[in-house]
Structure 1
Amino acid sequence: MKQTYNHVQFILVFLSVLLLFPLAGCWSSHEIEEQSLGVGMAFDKAKESMIEKELDEQGEGYAKKNLITSTYQLITPQVASSTTKQGGSQQKSYVNVSETGDSAFQMVRELSLRSDTPLISHHMKVIVIGEALARSYSLERLVNQNLRDNDLRPSCLVLISKGRASDTLESKTAGEIPSFRLYGMLDNTYRTTRILPPMSLIKLESKFQSGSSFLLQNVLSANGEIKFAGAAIIKGKTNKMIGFLNEEELEGLTWITGKGRGGLVKSFDKKTGQPIAYEIESMKSHIKPHVKGNNISFDVHIESEGRLSENWVVSGNPSENQFLQKAQKTSEKEVKHLVRNVVEKMQKEYQVDVAGFGKQLRIKHPRVWMRVKENWDQTFSEVPINYHVKLTIKDYGMSGSNK
């Protein structure tokens, strides 16, 4: 009996010792204070830094072709410590480091020769690609390493810059981290129809696989200031950028897709020329394909409910049905103009479908789609499209009349 008791006691002690091992944490881990946190990346056409030029001249650089300049936005222990001590009022909260070469993976590893804190990419927020580079190289090749890298989260967002992408990772505001600013601005889709739904790396991969043309949010930068301004058009067959939609054209595309969460439509009263602002509370769109023999056509049905948020027409009473109907018709006319304008740009200038017409044809008429999918962008450029827009003003604000 005593022997059995001792045996049980030994097992319990042994198990207790084993339980101590998980409490030790990750044996192969590194302290956060010893890491450089990568939060943003920018890819541009090659532009060597001074230190890289000097090394190349001395023959100390590595074998490469100077095709791409990668800029990495880092939060380093030194920056974080300095910012904390100075209250964040003077010191930048980030540091940007650039490397030029022809291999994205090799450029990342080259940073290890310039810093004692290794780069980790678990917190990477955005990847910005410069216009010149996006026109010259397939986006699939440019982000190939990022898609394969297990350290990089597939939720990282991708943007296009009209100008050098590295400029979008600069800020004049003390304490601000530009990558976080870009990431946060994409949450403003509920306030405007001029921001695309965020395009993450994993969504971008699906676009590459589908072979369809698509859009990426465009960002402008100047003197540390940035602004979202339209969208870049990516051709499906080449995955290269071929042009831009401006802000108004992006508005029209949002109405076609029905993916807007908020925003406004500004129109002008025909009689007085004064502005009327229709605020969007809901939006939905339905693209209906029609097939007759070899002929394909589409009907786009757009519906929205909203409120009269601003009215400069002093002769009209917003509470009167006649005035509301007039304001609705004026706003509907403006939406039709936006839609026609962007469809003409897609069909006539760029000959690409970035609004999802082909997707609806594939769903409703799969056999027809199999016949036309290889040259769909070209076919789409000649397809007739009709529009049906219905806006309903349900609310006209606190003011019942203007005097």
Structure 2
Amino acid sequence: MKHMTIRTLFSALLVLTLLPLTGCWSNKEIEDLGLIVGTSLDLEKQEESREESAGRAGGPPRRDRITITNQFVTAETTGKGTKTGSSPQKAYNNVSETGDTILPTLRNMVLRIEKHAFAEHSKVIIVGEDLARTLDLQKILDFFIREQEMRPSGLLLIAQNRASKTLESKKPMEIPAFKLVEMTHGHERTTKILPPTTLTKIEGKLHSGTSFLLQNVVSSSNGDIKFSGAAVIEGKTKKLRGFLNEQEIEGLTWITGKGKGGLVKSVDKKTGQPIIYEILSMKSKIKPHVDGNDISFNIEIESEGRIAEHWVVSEKTMETEFLKRTEKAIEKEVERLVKNALDKIQHEYKTDVSGFGNKLRIKYPHIWKTAKKDWDQTFSEVPIKHEVKITIKDYGTSDE
């Protein structure tokens, strides 16, 4: 009986071990698939002719039309099907379709492609500037958030001008969607790039009703793409409010303390020569204060770093007087970046994209209940003070 029990347990263990090795009933052959790796969405501005207008009399109102471009990677485009000696073809294939809603427009691509479209490997969605200004992002992204085939880790970007241009490249072996994803990793080395925003994160931001930022990408006439500043999305309308430049993004990164690395270029007060400070760490505390009906904030910013480069040849790097002077110069530059960023979001755009409201909600929930209804307007009027403390911990390998 004991031997029977052991044999039974051994057989059950063997079956459980072999189960993961069985084939998947729903597997798809890679040669039959058109893998979608990136998608762009653009607004089509079309003027309606007299005949079209007359024909639509009494019909449904005219809707904005959206051009969707899917970037496909197939066995052929990646070179698997390329014949020896033939000229290299692009590593991707872009297919566009226009309609007034997302899913029917995507389904219409079936009429133009021979492969089964497969979106589980989609890396990035880029929304064009005109579309983001015209329609709210919750409507634009509703299908992508609901669709089970879409990766929740897919990234979201805003393109200045036309989004489809960012999915084009003059280099035959380059896949633009993959390049965009790789570029987002640069936020660990510079304060000019935002941390990546995924579909999962964007869903929470849209439902919260708060304003937020999305990374902006621009394309040049020679086919190059570049991250340049950020798009401001207004919480109430969920539409594009405007853009921040690279220096304003640097200022906001110091305000939030979310930077992982980067540089600050300052000028030595005594000699007028440049000094480059490399950030090793940064932290920021946004402290709300309430006095009756008056709301205010203090920002306390601290950073430790190293002198990465300096042109002050007349000074020794390790000398205390020089270090103190350098720390003051860097603090002054960071204060300038923070002041300019605050001025832009408070007084021009009137949108809280740095989490001030959230800090108020946590510390003064009873105040937040009344302030949250029109928080962006309130935020534009509250006084904000800031202090910066820089500490140089390292001078590099040279003491000169």
**Same fold? TM cut 0.5:** yes
Q: Give per-residue Cα distances to partners, 1:135-167, cap 9 Å, x unaligned.
A: 001011101000010000111000000010001
Give the counterpart letter for 1:271 in structure 2.
K
Query: Hey, what does 2:49 align to over in structure 1?
Result: none
Is 231-240 or 16-25 further displaced after alignment? 16-25
Query: How many angstroms does 1:270 deviate by?
Result: 2.2
Counterpart CA distance in 2 for 1:334 and 1:19 is 62
Structure 2 residues without counterparts, runs of 5 or longer: 5-10, 47-51, 53-59
Provide closer, same or farther for how the CA distance between residues 319 and 153 of structure 1 changes in structure 2, counting only shifts above 3 A: same
Query: Hey, what does 1:176 align to over in structure 2?
Result: 174
Give the counterpart letter for 1:73 in structure 2.
Q
Query: Hey, what does 1:369 align to over in structure 2?
Result: 368
Counterparts in 2 of 1:129-148, with a 5 A limit? 129-148=127-146
Q: Superposition RMSD on alpha carbons, in Å?
A: 2.7
Give the counterpart letter for 1:72 in structure 2.
N
Q: Give per-residue Cα distances to partners, 1:308-335, cap 9 Å, x unaligned.
A: 0111122221110100110000000000
Counterpart CA distance in 1 for 2:43 and 2:306 is 46
Are 2:207 and 1:204 aligned? no
Counterpart CA distance in 2 for 1:161 and 1:350 is 19
Query: Hey, what does 1:289 align to over in structure 2?
Result: 288
Counterpart CA distance in 1 for 2:371 and 2:318 is 51
Residue 82 of structure 1 contacts residue 91 of structure 1 at CA under 8 Å; is this kept in 2? no
Name which of 18, 27, 30 aligns with 2:28.
30
Residue 75 of structure 2 contacts residue 81 of structure 2 at CA under 8 Å; is this kept in 1? no
Counterpart CA distance in 2 for 1:265 and 1:29 is 51
Are 2:390 and 1:394 aligned? no
Query: Hey, what does 1:190 align to over in structure 2?
Result: 188
Residue 159 of structure 1 contacts residue 217 of structure 1 at CA under 8 Å; is this kept in 2? yes
Query: Hey, what does 2:255 align to over in structure 1?
Result: 256
Task: Find the residue that maps to 2:78 and give its secondary structure.
Answer: helix
Task: Find the residue that maps to 2:399 and give its secondary structure.
Answer: coil
Provide closer, same or farther for how the CA distance between residues 88 and 300 of structure 1 changes in structure 2, counting only shifts above 3 A: farther
Are 2:336 and 1:345 aligned? no
Query: Hey, what does 1:52 align to over in structure 2?
Result: none
Counterpart CA distance in 2 for 1:297 and 1:196 is 26
Q: Give per-residue Cα distances to partners, 1:76-120, cap 9 Å, x unaligned.
A: 232234575469972211010100001111111111111121111
Provide closer, same or farther for how the CA distance between residues 330 and 89 of structure 1 changes in structure 2, counting only shifts above 3 A: farther
Residue 88 of structure 1 contacts residue 174 of structure 1 at CA under 8 Å; is this kept in 2? no
Residue 37 of structure 1 contacts residue 123 of structure 1 at CA under 8 Å; is this kept in 2? yes
Counterpart CA distance in 2 for 1:18 and 1:230 is 53
What TM-score, normalized to structure 1? 0.88
Is 207-216 or 79-88 further displaced after alignment? 79-88
What TM-score, normalized to structure 2? 0.89
Residue 70 of structure 1 contacts residue 98 of structure 1 at CA under 8 Å; is this kept in 2? yes
Query: Hey, what does 2:239 align to over in structure 1?
Result: 240
Provide closer, same or farther for how the CA distance between residues 18 and 274 of structure 1 changes in structure 2, counting only shifts above 3 A: closer
Query: How many angstroms does 1:39 deviate by?
Result: 0.2
Task: Find the residue that maps to 1:219 and give its secondary structure.
Answer: strand
Query: Hey, what does 2:213 align to over in structure 1?
Result: 215
Query: Hey, what does 2:102 align to over in structure 1?
Result: 104
Query: Hey, what does 1:10 align to over in structure 2?
Result: none
Residue 350 of structure 2 contacts residue 376 of structure 2 at CA under 8 Å; is this kept in 1? yes
Query: How many angstroms does 1:371 deviate by?
Result: 1.1
Structure 1 vs Structure 2: percent identity of aligned residues?
A: 55
Task: Find the residue that maps to 1:354 and give its secondary structure.
Answer: coil
Structure 1 residues without counterparts, runs of 5 or longer: 6-12, 49-55, 57-62
Counterpart CA distance in 2 for 1:35 and 1:21 is 26
